[in-house]
Amino acid sequence: MCGIVGYVGRRNASDVLIDGLKRLEYRGYDSAGLALRTGDGLIILKEVGKVADLERMLEEISPCSTQGIGHTRWATHGGVTQVNAHPHRDGSGKFAIVHNGIVENYMELKEELEREGVEFLSETDTEVVVHLIATSFSQTGDILETLVNLQGRLRGSFALVVIQQDLPDRIYCVRKGSPLVLGSGDGESFCASDVPAFLPYTRKIQYLEEGDIAEISLGGIRVWDENGCPVEKTVFTVDWDVSMTEKSGFSHFMLKEIHEQGMVLRSTLKGRIADGRTAVDQELGWDAEMASKWDKVHLVACGTSYYSALVAERVLEKWTDLEIKVDVASEYRYRHIKCDPSTLAVFVSQSGETADTLAAQRKARADGAHCLAITNVRGSTLAREVHSVMLLKAGPEIGVAATKTFTGQMAALFLVALQLGRLRGTLPSDEEERLISELIHIPYKVELLLERENEVMELAKRYASKSNFLFIGRGISFPIALEGALKLKEISYIHAEAYAAGEMKHGPIALLEPDLPVLAVIPRDGLYEKTLSNIQEAKARNAPLIAVCTEGDTIIPQHVESVIEIPWTDEEFTPFLSVVPLQFLAFHIALLKGREIDQPRNLAKSVTVE
């Protein structure tokens, strides 16, 4: 929910930190701040607003420093104020820290410190931590011992980065519940919440595990576990390059990422289809005997990832004999659903850091389920805690509104469903080959749609002034209606709801009026006639109708005022196509309304708090 960066090296630290914070701004952008070690002590600069505002402050001061920490905030404890912005310092001014996460027991710790005479400036949980560190260090004189002890005092999640004026050329990190990655360069070291922050400087990274403590310095990186024992970390070389974290000529990351979906689909499918059939069993570590032990599948996710799971539910039901259950992680983790070694539990999370999804996975794993992660981040917490992983290979998604990772998730889940059908003998090989032969054409059909952005842009002009929207769909199109409504509301701030089309007459139809556009997702499929009836019901009540329908449909245009056509494909694959115009519609309406599309208000790219 926040972006953290730390740097020790020979470059101008404020340049490196500002650049890194800008690359992490999708994680939170209420306020931003830096702490720099200089010959005159620690300088802290922080302000409400974007990183660019902080950059302007720096231009007036242009501090000389080669070591520092930075933070861009998504407020959890304490309002969006300058005082609550990070970094926070102790009373002596020698310690400064930045924090991502929530310290659940901060109030009792704060009261204890206040009894000891500590005075607080902010309302944050983070300020409690910096005082605890300073107090402990004054007693031990040993920063490692201090940070080991600290973990025993704190409950909750915390990625901490600590700088101390009298500990030159070194910065310390603690990781518990919130992500931190380390980067090693030539005579310089980095730490951050996510890889893009220091990608221009190094692609050699190390992921911190739960409880790890790290020291980054001019000489490199040292890591200890939560007990203070040294640990050796694997050094990965990421296969992303800097250009993937830049807009490459597009006005917004979201628009760039919508247009990358054909490429992403090819990347997700690449190497996972052979001789017209799926080839993911080795990657997943599955075989027929293992698959025969499962009698149910749980699909668990949040937000857009949950909608990709709802799409997958429809094909899993069709291609396998397994009992399928889909739930949002924040509900699943508290329910008394039967979960055991005969359960395949699939967790869908592009970031692999969503707190509710992580907690749900830990519960399912404790219940004995076989856990599979569908994620876009190789070293993410989710990827490292499950039994099997399927990476989307979609490249970094910077826009807060998920687009290309949604498409990648559907492709990955379809491969899993096809593989399960094969392993359990419920999907005939000729049917599998027929489905695969269409699946490999989907990237091309998506790209045909991407070329028709202008049609949707024109449509957006007709509806941008509306205050409410209704999205409807049936069957495998219903999750797409849900996703279309979420995209619209999260970037344009227009209220949008989605309903199973058959539900209209059970209440929502009372909403219909000339100022409430109804968007129907109605490809040519087995439920077409039923959804057409719903369109006619809406039309009879004077609602303005928009339809996403299969190209060449001559019936739908007679009943609606706006049509967005998609190429023909098998019913199962229509979601890959019908979602694209909905992404464009949300984007262009938000653009017309002057919204901060890549960083919508109140949102963050990765919800790492509950």
Torsion of CA 455, 461, 463, 466, to 10 degrees: 160
- Piece of the chain touching ligand AGP by CB under 6 A; list 39-47, 120-128, 219-227, 398-406: 398-406
Query: Of these, 43, 326, 400, 546, which contacts ligand AGP (CB under 6 A)?
Result: 400
Smaller CB separation from ligand AGP, 3 or 303:
303
Write down the least CB distance from residue 303 to ligand AGP, Å.
2
Smaller CB separation from ligand AGP, 305 or 343:
305
Distance CA 585, CA 488 (A): 8
Residue 136 CB contacts under 8 Å (≥ 6 apart), including other chains: 145, 146, 149, 150
Write down the least CB distance from residue 492 to ligand AGP, Å.
13
Query: Of these, 72, 84, 349, 381, which contacts ligand AGP (CB under 6 A)?
Result: 349
Residue 401 binding ligand AGP, by CB under 6 A:
yes
Residue 389 binding ligand AGP, by CB under 6 A:
no
Site for ligand AGP in 77-96 (CB under 6 A): none
Query: Of these, 184, 268, 278, 357, which contacts ligand AGP (CB under 6 A)?
Result: 357
Amino acid at 480: I
b/e for 370-393, b at 16 or more Cβ within 10 A?
Answer: bbbbbbbbbbbbbbebbebbbbbb
Tokens of 416: 């899993």
Smaller CB separation from ligand AGP, 268 or 534:
268
Residue 597 binding ligand AGP, by CB under 6 A:
no
Smaller CB separation from ligand AGP, 146 or 157:
157
Residue 54 binding ligand AGP, by CB under 6 A:
no
Write down the least CB distance from residue 400 to ligand AGP, Å.
5
Query: Of these, 302, 344, 586, 591, which contacts ligand AGP (CB under 6 A)?
Result: 302
Beta bridge partners of 47: 32
Distance CA 245, CA 397 (A): 8
Helix (H, G, I), strand (E, B) or coil at 133: helix
- Piece of the chain touching ligand AGP by CB under 6 A; list 313-321, 348-356, 425-433, 442-450: 348-356
Distance CA 456, CA 427 (A): 38
Catalytic residue among 2, 173, 191, 371: 2
| Nearest residue to ligand AGP, by Cβ distance, number only | 303
Residue 458 CB contacts under 8 Å (≥ 6 apart), including other chains: none
Nearest residue to 1 (alpha-carbon basis) of 241, 177, 236, 243: 177
Residue 397 binding ligand AGP, by CB under 6 A:
no
Query: Of these, 257, 260, 490, 571, which contacts ligand AGP (CB under 6 A)?
Result: 490
Q: Rounded to an integer, what is the distance from CA 246 to the centroid of its chain?
A: 17
Query: Of these, 354, 531, 574, 583, which contacts ligand AGP (CB under 6 A)?
Result: 354
Write down the least CB distance from residue 408 to ligand AGP, Å.
11
Distance CA 222, CA 215 (A): 5
- Piece of the chain touching ligand AGP by CB under 6 A; list 80-88, 245-253, 299-307, 565-573: 299-307
Nearest residue to 40 (alpha-carbon basis) of 16, 65, 60, 15: 65
- Piece of the chain touching ligand AGP by CB under 6 A; list 142-150, 196-204, 395-403, 512-520: 395-403
Residue 445 CB contacts under 8 Å (≥ 6 apart), including other chains: 566, 567, 569, 576, 577
Residue 261 binding ligand AGP, by CB under 6 A:
no
Q: At what angle do helices 574-592 and 442-450 cross, to 10 degrees?
A: 20
Confirm whether 229 is a catalytic residue. Answer: no
Tokens of 384: 């490292």
Write down the least CB distance from residue 306 to ligand AGP, Å.
7
Distance CA 146, CA 148 (A): 6
Distance CA 151, CA 174 (A): 9
Residue 465 CB contacts under 8 Å (≥ 6 apart), including other chains: none
Smaller CB separation from ligand AGP, 146 or 349:
349
Upstream peptide bond of 87 is cis (omega within 30 degrees of 0): yes
Query: Of these, 350, 381, 477, 550, which contacts ligand AGP (CB under 6 A)?
Result: 350
Distance CA 3, CA 70 (A): 8
Write down the least CB distance from residue 308 to ligand AGP, Å.
9
Smaller CB separation from ligand AGP, 206 or 354:
354
Residue 305 binding ligand AGP, by CB under 6 A:
yes
Smaller CB separation from ligand AGP, 124 or 492:
492
Query: Of these, 351, 388, 407, 534, which contacts ligand AGP (CB under 6 A)?
Result: 351
Site for ligand AGP in 167-206 (CB under 6 A): none
Smaller CB separation from ligand AGP, 29 or 95:
29
Whether residue 27 contacts residue 194, with contact meaning beta carbons closer than 8 Å, is answered with yes
Helix (H, G, I), strand (E, B) or coil at 223: strand
Residue 303 binding ligand AGP, by CB under 6 A:
yes
Residue 304 binding ligand AGP, by CB under 6 A:
yes
Tokens of 156: 């909750």
Write down the least CB distance from residue 606 to ligand AGP, Å.
5
Residue 285 CB contacts under 8 Å (≥ 6 apart), including other chains: 387, 388
Amino acid at 241: D
Residue for token pair 């919130």 = 178
Confirm whether 605 is a catalytic residue. Answer: yes
**Which residues make up the interface to ligand AGP (CB under 6 A)?**
302-305, 349-351, 354, 357, 400-402, 490, 606-607
Residue positions annotated with a catalytic role: 2, 605
